Amino acid sequence: MVLSTILSFILPCITFGWLYYLYKHYVMLPIEFHSDARLDGKTVVITGGSSGLGLETARNLCSRGARVIIGCRDKKKAEEALIDVKSSCKSALVSYFHLDLASLSSVRKFVQELKDSNIRVNILINNAAVVGVPYQKTIDGFEYIFGVNYLGHFLLTNLMLDLLEARARIINVSAHAHIFGHIDFDNLMMDRGFNSIVAYFNSKLAMVLFTQEISRRLDIEVACSYALHPGAIYTQLTRHFFFMRYKFLRMISDQLGKHFLKNAKQGIHTILYCALSEEIEGVSGKYFSDCKLSVPIQEALDIEIAERLWSTSEERRNSNRKRIAFFHPYCNAGGGGERVLWMAVNSIQQTYPKADITIYSGDLDATSESIIEKCKENFSITLKRPVSFVWLKSRFLVEAKCWPIFTLAGQSFGSMLLCLEALWKFTPDVYIDSMGYAFTLPIAKIIGSKVGCYVHYPTISTDMLDKVSSRKAAHNNSQLVAKSSILSSVKHSYYRLFAFLYGLAGKTSECVMVNSSWTKNHIDSLWNIDSIKVFPPVDLKRLLNMKIDNERSIVLSVAQFRPEKDHELQIKAFAKYLSFGTDTETSMMLVGSVRNQKDEERVEKLKSLANLLGVRERVEFKINASYEDLLTYFKNAAIGLHTMWNEHFGIGVVECMAAGAIALAHKSGGPKMDIVTPLNGETTGFLADTIDEYAEYISNIIRMSPENLLKIRQNARKSVERFSNENFQKDWIKATEILFV
List pLDDT tens digits, range 420-469: 999 988 888 899 999 999 999 999 999 889 999 999 989 987 767 666 56
Domains along the chain with CATH numbers: 37-306 (3.40.50.720), 321-533 (3.40.50.2000), 541-723 (3.40.50.2000)
Mean pLDDT of 652-667: 94
> Do residues 229 and 270 make contact, with C-beta atoms less than 8 angstroms apart?
yes
pTM score, whole prediction: 0.56
List pLDDT tens digits, range 243-274: 445 555 556 555 554 545 567 678 889 999 99
Question: Residue 396 in 3-state DSSP?
Answer: helix
Q: What is the pLDDT of residue 482?
A: 56
- Tell me the β-bridge partners of 98: 72
Q: What is the pLDDT of residue 368?
A: 86
Segment among 78-92, 175-189, 299-313, 471-485 with least mean pLDDT = 471-485
Residue 46 has pLDDT above 90, yes or no: yes
Angstrom distances, CA of residue 713 to CA of 469, 586, 694: 41, 19, 19
List pLDDT tens digits, range 593-629: 888 888 999 999 999 999 999 999 999 999 998 888 9
Q: Per-residue confidence at 22, pLDDT binned at 50, 70, 90? A: very low
Residue 510 has pLDDT above 60, yes or no: yes
Of 580 and 319, which is predicted with more confidence? 580
> Do residues 147 and 203 make contact, with C-beta atoms less than 8 angstroms apart?
no
Can you tell me the distance from the alpha carbon of 86 to that of 59, in angstroms, rounded to the nearest whole number? 8
End-to-end CA distance of the chain: 92
Residue 287: burial class (beta carbons within 10 Å; 0-12, 13-18, 19+): buried
Q: What is the pLDDT of residue 243?
A: 46
Q: Per-residue confidence at 511, pLDDT binned at 50, 70, 90? A: very high
Mean pLDDT of 364-380: 89
Closest to 179 in 3D by CA, of 295, 286, 42, 291: 295
List pLDDT tens digits, range 51-64: 888 999 999 999 99
Q: What is the pLDDT of residue 582?
A: 76
> Do residues 652 and 558 make contact, with C-beta atoms less than 8 angstroms apart?
yes
Q: What is the pLDDT of residue 13?
A: 52
Write the secondary structure of 153-202 as one string of H (helix), E (strand) and C (coil): HHHHHHHHHHHEEEEEEEEEECCHHHHHCCCCHHHCCCCCCCCHHHHHHH
Torsion of CA 589, 594, 599, 603, to 10 degrees: 20
Residue 1 has pLDDT above 60, yes or no: no
Angstrom distances, CA of residue 335 to CA of 281, 487, 559, 603: 33, 34, 8, 16
Q: What is the pLDDT of residue 26?
A: 44
Q: Computed from CA positions of residues 189, 192, 196, 199, in that sequence, does the dihedral angle turn out positive or negative?
A: negative
Sequence-distant (6+) residues with CB within 8 A of 621 are 589, 590, 603, 606, 607
Q: What is the pLDDT of residue 595?
A: 80
Of 6 and 152, which is predicted with more confidence? 152
Mean pLDDT of 528-555: 89
List pLDDT tens digits, range 113-166: 999 999 999 999 999 999 888 888 887 778 899 999 999 999 999 999 989 999
List pLDDT tens digits, range 153-163: 999 999 999 89
List pLDDT tens digits, range 375-432: 988 888 988 888 888 899 999 999 988 988 888 899 999 999 999 999 988 888 899 9
Question: Residue 586 in 3-state DSSP?
Answer: coil
Largest CA distance in the chain: 121
Of 239 and 740, which is predicted with more confidence? 740
Q: Computed from CA positions of residues 77, 79, 84, 85, in that sequence, does the dihedral angle turn out positive or negative?
A: positive
Distance of CA 183 to the CA centre of its chain: 24
Q: What is the pLDDT of residue 321?
A: 65
Q: What is the pLDDT of residue 252?
A: 56
Please provide the DSSP assignment of 670-693 as one string: HIIIIIS--BTTB--EEEE-SHHH
> Do residues 431 and 325 make contact, with C-beta atoms less than 8 angstroms apart?
yes
Which sequence positions are flagged as catalytic?
200
Mean pLDDT of 629-635: 91
Q: Computed from CA positions of residues 74, 78, 79, 80, in that sequence, does the dihedral angle turn out positive or negative?
A: positive
List pLDDT tens digits, range 643-654: 998 888 888 899
> Do residues 675 and 650 make contact, with C-beta atoms less than 8 angstroms apart?
yes
Residue 237 has pLDDT above 90, yes or no: no
Q: What is the CA radius of gyration of the chain?
A: 32
List pLDDT tens digits, range 66-95: 999 999 999 999 999 999 999 988 888 999
Cβ density class 665-686: b for 16+ within 10 Å, e for less: bbebbbbbbbbbeeeeeeebbb
